[in-house]
Amino acid sequence: MNKHGDVFERVEKKYVINKAQFDFIMDKLAKRTIPDAHGESLISNIYFDTPDYRLIRRSLLKPVYKEKLRLRGYGAIDEGSELFLEIKKKYDGVVYKRRIELMCAEAADYLKLGGKLPERSQIAREIEWFMGYYPMLAPRMYISYDRIALYDKEDHDLRITFDTDITWRSCDLDLTLGSYGDCLTADGEYVMEIKLSHSMPLWLSEIMTKARAYNASYSKYGCAFIEMQRRAKSEDETIKISDGGIYCA
């Protein structure tokens, strides 16, 4: 993984596991990993899209290249909280994430009024271009989850996360309003991600094999969008998107 400040490049492998698998994997990881800077935390996100949800619709078709824009915060969020505005791109299986840090009030002003970001950097210019390129880009979905985040003691580029209680809503798109909405995950269900800069180490591969945990395609925003479509009774569109192979609870 290349990581310079708030620039990340890596491969991400996802798994949907149950409580028994989670307990087994966590037990095996205990001697190899330690919590990252956020440890156990609530992560809240606002995803941006066009009025016709162009970004997520395209993403669900599994193109070689796809991109998204989101605003992210950790823990309880108020007007004085630090947030991250980030572009996440995926090309040929490799994930690239670039983000800048903003105070909550700064983010609100920028997203409502447009113009220039407070930070003047290459990443800020990329975000401004992104906002201008897609017509009427605006907040469309709130998604939060409880995360356990670990990294390998010997290889800090190897990160492992477990997300549960994945919650979504398509209204009240303000991070300061807290985590509430409808849950995507069943009780005792976790979305596990292994974030790598290289091939998976043998010891971790053996743990996943013994746990009978298998790589799955999972998009939180994608699943929330599909559920929203189901509720809108867009049956034809729901079936078409689901055929792309995305996993949904």
pLDDT at 102: 92
**Residue 233 region by backbone torsions, left for phi larger than 0, else alpha for psi between -120 and 50, else beta:** left
**pLDDT score at 173:** 94
Secondary structure class of 188 (helix, strand, coil): coil
* 2-242 CATH: 3.20.100.30
**Residue-level pLDDT at 1:** 39
Answer whether residue 2 shows pLDDT above 60: no
Nearest CA to 72 out of 26, 119, 104, 33 is that of 104
Q: What is the pLDDT of residues 139-160, one digit of tens each?
A: 999 999 999 999 999 998 899 9
In angstroms, the Cα distances linking 19 to 103, 121, 165, 245 are 36, 43, 13, 24
- Closest by Cα among 23, 32, 39, 62 to 213: 23
Comparing C-alpha atoms, which of 100, 91, 52, 46 is closest to residue 69?
A: 46
Report residue 127's pLDDT band, with 50, 70 and 90 as the boundaries: confident
pLDDT of residue 117: 82
- Rounded Cα distance between 58 and 48, Å, is 14
> Taking residues 227-231, what's their average pLDDT?
92
Question: Residue 13 corresponds to which amino acid?
Answer: K
pTM of the model: 0.87
At residue 120 the predicted structure's pLDDT band, cuts being 50, 70 and 90, is confident
Q: How many CB atoms are located within 10 Å of the residue 64 CB? A: 8
Per-residue pLDDT averaged across 122-128, rounded? 89
Q: Is 15 left (phi over 0), alpha (psi -120 to 50) or beta?
A: beta
**More confident of the two residues 57 and 119:** 57
Residue 248 has pLDDT above 80, yes or no: no
Q: pLDDT tens digit string along 23-77? A: 999 999 999 999 988 779 999 999 999 999 999 999 999 999 999 999 999 999 9
Mean pLDDT of the chain: 88
Q: Which of 101-115, 160-174, 194-208, 230-244 is least confident?
A: 230-244
Q: Are 37 and 148 a contacting pair, CB within 8 Å?
A: no
Percentage of residues in the chain with pLDDT exceeding 70?
Answer: 90
Q: For residue 14, give the nearest of 178, 166, 237, 139 by alpha carbon.
A: 166
Q: Among 127, 68, 76, 75, which Cα is nearest to 101's?
A: 127
Percent with pLDDT over 90 in the chain? 70
Q: Among the residues of the chain, which ranges form H helices? A: 19-29, 54-60, 104-113, 122-133, 202-210, 220-231, 235-242
- Say which residue, 41 or 199, is predicted with more confidence: 41
Question: In the chain, what are the domain boundaries?
Answer: 2-242
pLDDT band for 245, please (50, 70, 90 cuts): very low
The distance of Cα 106 from the centroid of its chain, to the nearest Å, equals 22
**Each residue's pLDDT tens digit, 8-17:** 788 999 999 9
Name residues whose C-beta falls within 8 Å of residue 169's C-beta, 6 or more positions apart in sequence.
Answer: 141, 142, 180, 181, 182
Which pLDDT does position 7 carry in this prediction?
A: 67
